[in-house]
């Protein structure tokens, strides 16, 4: 038999796994921060797409409920009437504004005229409008108005009037900025239009009367203040003038500025002359000391030779001539000879004469030093006298300047107060109302003359707010539903949350779903009839489904290397019904089609079903080989669809699968399988709650975790991963199963033969 020949070399050529592996135990690749952010953004967009329906329904419901409540509330809302009048609080023309500004400056209620000229007549505000509005709405102004209104409306009080009353300054936009006008608008709202008109008329008269009284009060206060200040101002002027006159007499300060300049000039001249004398004195003293030292040493020639007039040049030349003659005659005559004696006498006479001249020069310098010292003392005395004058003069001059300034200020103040008193008395005689009513009190009307009404509820604004809030609430409901639905939805979620390699994405196939249902029925039927050899043929799968498994096999192959290829792997899932059996079978068929010798082992000793998918028997399998000395040739079967695909069923049922999987014989068999076949695939039970997959993965090259999208819970997968880490199994990656929608086909431009050739090159 072919199977028997295939196993003849197992005992003599066992495969020993190398420790040089590119996939280490518990290897879980970590995502960088940038990748994590991309996953979060992708998850956010995916949630919005998945929960768009729930968000729309929640938004519609919230909008309908809140909108209905707003409309119902609006129907029962009160209807109000509005009215207003406008007051011009400042003059519009430049002439009028200047006149009012002058008056305001005189009464001390605003800025001065010079300040107005700086900013321009059309830009200066003579009224602090914010403060003015608060004054007009204060109890002091409105309490008399309320008393007058209560004669007709007894229930009216200050609080109720202020609630419906609004004072504002009319503004406009200029060069992109809001600019205020000189107009105040008084607006009043109430349910009774007659009450609105009556209140506005009363307020208009009260505000105009207030402006008149305010003006007269300011004028009277200004006149009274000036009268009180005039005696004190006159006294101050007289006092300062008397002090200034005394100071002039005592210090002869008719022209203080000129006197100060003369004293300063004299001090500068004396300082300059004194510095010159001191410099000359130092220079002559130095020359005198040098001359004295050279005379002492007997070297008058050096002194006289520095004479700038060269008065002693002839004597020095004669001395040099005599010395030359002595030097010349000394070679012919003795020192005691008459010629030499004569020359020596001449030399002595000349030297004595030079010494006398040097002494005269020293005496001359001494006389010069005395003269300069006398001049220096004279200048020092003058400087001291001038310094004493200058020390006293600044305080006198400062006192004089202060008195002059005080006299000028006091005189100007007195003059200004007298002028203001005359102006105020003249203006008080002209009793004109300063404010002007440019828009009389009236109710607001439409263009057709009908009274305008308004509701206490702004339906449009409230409806817009309700729609926005409902939209936000709907989005929140969608995210709450997403959080409560703790399953994986996309392959990116599986990769991001598990931090594992995404080896492949298997698309959702409706025919496969129907096949799984029929298969479960067949399993239950087989168990009921005790007919384990029932066969359910596999359906035809679309091309994208097959391409997904080719891509999966390629990614698994790339995890290994030439020295350490992936020779055995376990296919498992965190929970049942995740599709692991289908993926194990399809992955084995894909590897066999490209020429790999593949052994597919149904290691699920608890619930075997792979033999039903392949149409093979399950009389003798893995459990039988582990419990007896049964030959592998009697247990391994060849799959009917491909000659490179071999199958080892689970075998007969056992009471304790863990005992068999942990036996030394199981470990020996796994080594034998890897030594003979190119790829060994173990279909294992689920991970959670069972140790079968962990035991198999610890002796294989790695384990593949299958995650069913829209079904597998995240907590279940994380618990399963914790168990794998404890077993130190090598996690190759995850496979996302049941991806709905269109998948990109990376092999779309290749034929099936070309794909097979490319995968064959990976061997």
| Residue with more model confidence, 523 or 285 | 285
Strands 731-739 and 703-708, sheet pairing: parallel
Residue 12 inside a domain? The answer is no
Please answer whether residues 490 and 46 qualify as being in contact, where contact means their C-beta atoms are separated by less than 8 angstroms.
Answer: yes
The pair of three-digit structure tokens given for residue 233, joined into one six-digit string: 């101002």
The 10 Å Cβ neighbour count of residue 626 is 19
- Of 321-330, 428-437, 552-561, give the lowest mean pLDDT range: 428-437
At 600 the pLDDT is 94
Which three-class secondary structure state does DSSP give residue 186?
strand
Going by pLDDT thresholds of 50, 70 and 90, the confidence category of residue 111 is very low
Return the H-helix or E-strand segment holding 84: strand 79-88
Question: Across-strand partners of 186?
Answer: 85, 167
Higher pLDDT among residues 95 and 223, named by residue: 223
CA 505 to chain CA centroid, nearest Å: 41
Q: In degrees rounded to 5, what are phi and psi of residue 198?
A: -65, -45
CA distance 14 to 206: 115
Q: Tokens representing 650?
A: 């689970």
Greatest CA separation found in the chain?
A: 176
* DSSP-assigned states of every residue in 599-647: EEEE--SSS--HHHHHT---SS-HHHHHHS---GGGTEEE-SS-TTEEE
Out of 56-70, 86-100, 460-474, least confident range: 86-100
Contacts of 739 (CB under 8 A, 6+ apart): 490, 491, 505, 506, 507, 508, 709
- DSSP letter, residue 634: G
Q: Which residues pair with 177 in a beta bridge?
A: 174
Q: Pairing between strand 645-648 and 636-638?
A: antiparallel
Residue 562 has pLDDT above 80, yes or no: no
Q: Is the pLDDT of residue 754 over 50?
A: no
Chain Cα centroid distance, residue 69: 42
On whether residue 137 sits in a domain, the answer given is: no
| pLDDT tens-digit readout, 36-46 | 444 467 667 77
Last residue of one domain, picked from the residues 347, 380, 395: 395
The two three-digit tokens of residue 339, written as one number? 């010629």
Q: Which residues contact 734 (CB under 8 A, 6 or more apart)?
A: 494, 495, 498, 500, 501, 502, 503, 704, 705, 706, 707
User: Which letter does DSSP use for residue 564 in this model?
Assistant: S
d(CA 240, CA 248): 13
The enclosing H or E element of 174 equals strand 165-174
DSSP helix/strand/coil, 191 = coil
Is the pLDDT score of 3 beyond 50?
no
Pick the closest to residue 677 from 19, 1, 13, 22 (CA basis): 13
Choice between 538 and 758, residue whose per-residue pLDDT is larger: 538
- The per-residue pLDDT for 424 is 62
Mean pLDDT of 539-544: 69
- The residue ranking higher by pLDDT, 301 or 710, is 710
- Whether residue 55 is contained in a domain is answered as no
Better pLDDT: 262 or 694: 694
Task: Tell me the three-class secondary structure of 726-739, residue by residue.
Answer: HCCCCEEEEEEEEE
CATH number at 296 reads: 1.10.287
DSSP 578: S
Coil/strand/helix, residue 180: strand
* 617 within domain boundaries: yes
**Range 555-577 average pLDDT:** 87
The proportion of the chain whose per-residue pLDDT surpasses 70, expressed as a percent, equals 72
Q: Is the pLDDT of residue 119 over 70?
A: no
**Total domains present in the chain:** 2
User: Which of 395, 417, 433 is the C-terminal boundary of a domain?
Assistant: 395
Beta bridge partners, 153, equal: none
3-state secondary structure at position 444:
coil
**Average pLDDT, stretch 672-682?**
91
Query: Which structure tokens are listed for 167?
Result: 């004072």
Q: Is the pLDDT assigned to residue 92 strictly greater than 70? A: no
The yes-or-no verdict on residue 456 having pLDDT over 70 is no
Question: Between these two residues, 757 and 473, which has the higher pLDDT value?
Answer: 473
Give the pLDDT confidence score for residue 511 in this predicted structure: 64
Is the model's pLDDT at 120 over the cut of 70? no
Span 290-319, average pLDDT = 65
Does residue 708 lie within any of the structural domains?
A: yes
Q: Find the mean pLDDT for residues 194-206.
A: 92
What confidence tens digit (pLDDT) does each residue in 617-636 have? Answer: 888 888 888 888 888 888 89
How confident is the prediction for the chain on average, in pLDDT?
A: 76
Looking at residue 30, its pLDDT comes to 44
Tell me what pLDDT residue 84 has: 93
487 in a domain, yes or no?
no
Q: Is the pLDDT of residue 501 over 80?
A: yes
Q: Judge whether residue 369 has pLDDT over 70.
A: yes
554-579 mean pLDDT? 87
Tokens 């582990």 correspond to what residue? Answer: 626
* Token output for 592: 């066999």
- Cα–Cα distance, 343 to 347 (Å, whole number): 6
**CB 585 within 8 Å of CB 681:** no
pLDDT at 101: 55
Give the pLDDT band of residue 286 (cuts 50, 70, 90): confident
Specify if 245 maps to a domain. no
Q: Does residue 83 belong to any structural domain of this protein?
A: no
Question: 197 — alpha (psi -120 to 50), left (phi > 0) or beta?
Answer: alpha
Give the rounded percent of residues in the chain with a pLDDT score beyond 90: 14
Determine the pLDDT at residue 629. 84
Q: Which domain holds residue 652?
A: 501-508+544-760
> What whole-number distance in Å separates Cα of residue 584 and Cα of residue 737?
12
The confidence score (pLDDT) of residue 461 equals 78
Assess whether pLDDT exceeds 70 at residue 7.
Answer: no
Band (pLDDT 50/70/90 cuts) for residue 300 is: low
* Phi (first) and psi of residue 379, to 5 degrees: -65, -35
Asked whether residue 110 carries a pLDDT value surpassing 60, the answer given is no
pLDDT at residue 2 in the model: 41
Any idea what the CATH number is for the domain that residue 625 is in?
Answer: 3.40.50.300
Each residue's pLDDT tens digit, 417-434: 777 766 666 655 554 557
pLDDT in tens, 385-407: 777 766 666 777 777 777 777 87
Domain boundary among 361, 395, 429: 395
Residue 4 confidence (pLDDT) above 60:
no
- Nearest alpha carbon to residue 507 among 436, 582, 577: 582
SS3 113: helix
Pairwise pLDDT comparison (292 vs 587), residue with the higher score? 587
Which of 286-300, 397-411, 689-703, 738-752: highest mean pLDDT? Answer: 689-703
Of residues 710, 732, 709, the one with CA closest to residue 721: 732
What's the pLDDT tens digit per position in 573-619? 988 888 898 899 999 999 999 999 999 999 988 888 888 788 888 88
Residues contacting residue 94 through CB under 8 Å, at least 6 positions apart = 121, 122
Confidence of residue 221 (pLDDT cuts 50, 70, 90): low
Max mean pLDDT among 209-213, 221-225, 471-475 falls in 471-475
């Amino acid at each position: 038999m072919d199977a028997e020949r295939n196993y003849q070399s197992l005992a003599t050529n066992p495969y020993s796994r190398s420790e040089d592996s590119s996939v280490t135990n518990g290897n879980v690749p970590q995502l960088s921060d940038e990748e994590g952010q991309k996953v979060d953004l992708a998850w956010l967009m995916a949630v919005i797409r998945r929960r768009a329906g729930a968000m729309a329904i929640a938004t519609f419901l919230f909008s309908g409920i809140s909108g209905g409540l707003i409309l119902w509330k609006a129907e029962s809302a009160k209807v109000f009437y509005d009215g207003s009048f406008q007051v011009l609080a400042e003059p519009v023309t430049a002439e009028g504004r200047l006149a009012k500004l002058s008056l305001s400056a005189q009464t001390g209620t605003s800025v001065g005229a010079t300040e107005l000229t700086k900013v321009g007549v059309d830009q200066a505000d003579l009224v602090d409008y914010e403060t003015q509005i608060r004054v007009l709405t204060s109890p002091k102004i409105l309490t008399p108005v309320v008393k007058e209104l209560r004669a007709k409306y007894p229930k009216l009080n200050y609080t109720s009037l202020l609630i419906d009353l609004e004072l504002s300054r009319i503004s406009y936009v200029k060069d992109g900025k809001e600019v205020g006008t000189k107009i105040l608008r008084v607006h009043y709202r109430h349910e009774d239009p007659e009450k609105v008109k009556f209140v506005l008329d009363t307020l208009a008269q009260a505000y105009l009367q207030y402006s008149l009284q305010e003006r007269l009060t300011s004028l009277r206060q200004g006149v009274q203040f000036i009268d009180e200040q005039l005696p004190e101002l006159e006294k101050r002027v007289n006092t300062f003038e008397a002090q200034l006159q005394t100071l002039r007499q005592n210090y002869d300060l008719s022209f203080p500025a000129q006197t100060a300049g003369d004293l300063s000039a004299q001090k500068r001249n004396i300082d300059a002359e004194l510095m010159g004398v001191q410099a000359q004195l130092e220079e002559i003293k130095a020359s005198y000391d040098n001359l004295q030292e050279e005379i002492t040493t007997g070297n008058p020639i050096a002194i006289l030779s520095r004479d700038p007039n060269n008065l002693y040049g002839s004597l020095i030349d004669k001395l040099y001539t005599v010395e030359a003659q002595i030097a010349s005659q000394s070679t012919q005559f003795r020192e005691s000879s008459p010629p030499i004696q004569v020359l020596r006498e001449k030399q002595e006479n000349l030297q004595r004469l030079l010494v006398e001249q040097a002494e005269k020069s020293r005496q001359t310098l001494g006389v010069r030093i005395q003269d300069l010292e006398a001049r220096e003392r004279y200048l020092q005395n003058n400087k001291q006298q001038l310094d004493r004058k200058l020390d006293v003069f600044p305080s006198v001059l400062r006192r004089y300047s202060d008195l002059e300034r005080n006299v000028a200020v006091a005189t100007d103040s007195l003059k200004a107060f007298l002028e203001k008193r005359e102006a105020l008395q003249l203006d008080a005689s002209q009793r004109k109302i300063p404010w002007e009513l440019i828009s009389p009190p009236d109710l607001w009307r439409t263009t057709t003359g009908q009274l305008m009404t308004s509701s206490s509820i702004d339906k449009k604004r409230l409806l817009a707010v309700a729609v926005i809030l409902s939209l936000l609430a709907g989005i929140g409901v969608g995210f709450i539903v997403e959080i409560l639905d703790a399953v994986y939805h996309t392959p990116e979620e599986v990769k991001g949350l598990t931090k594992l390699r995404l080896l492949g994405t298997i698309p959702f196939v409706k025919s496969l779903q129907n096949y799984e249902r029929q298969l479960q029925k067949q399993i239950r039927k087989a168990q009921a009839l005790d007919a384990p050899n029932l066969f359910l043929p596999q359906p035809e799968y679309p091309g994208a489904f097959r391409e997904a498994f080719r891509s999966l096999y390629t990614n698994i192959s790339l995890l290994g290397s030439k020295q350490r290829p992936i020779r055995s792997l376990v296919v498992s899932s965190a929970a049942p019904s995740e599709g692991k059996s289908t993926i194990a079978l399809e992955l084995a068929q894909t590897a066999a089609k490209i020429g790999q010798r593949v052994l597919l082992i149904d290691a699920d000793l608890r619930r075997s079903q792979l033999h039903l998918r392949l149409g093979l028997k399950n009389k003798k399998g893995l459990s039988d080989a582990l419990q007896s000395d049964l030959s592998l040739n009697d247990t391994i079967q060849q799959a009917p669809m491909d000659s490179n695909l071999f199958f080892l069923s689970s075998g007969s049922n056992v009471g304790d699968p863990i005992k068999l999987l942990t036996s030394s014989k199981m470990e020996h068999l796994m080594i034998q399988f890897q030594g003979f076949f190119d790829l060994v695939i173990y279909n294992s039970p689920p991970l959670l709650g069972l140790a079968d997959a962990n035991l198999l993965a610890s002796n294989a090259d790695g384990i593949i975790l299958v995650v069913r999208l829209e079904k597998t819970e995240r907590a279940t997968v994380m618990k399963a991963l914790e168990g794998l880490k404890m077993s130190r199994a090598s996690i190759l990656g995850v496979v996302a199963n049941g991806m709905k929608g269109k998948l990109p086909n990376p092999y779309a431009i290749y034929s099936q033969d070309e794909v097979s050739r490319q995968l064959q090159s990976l061997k």
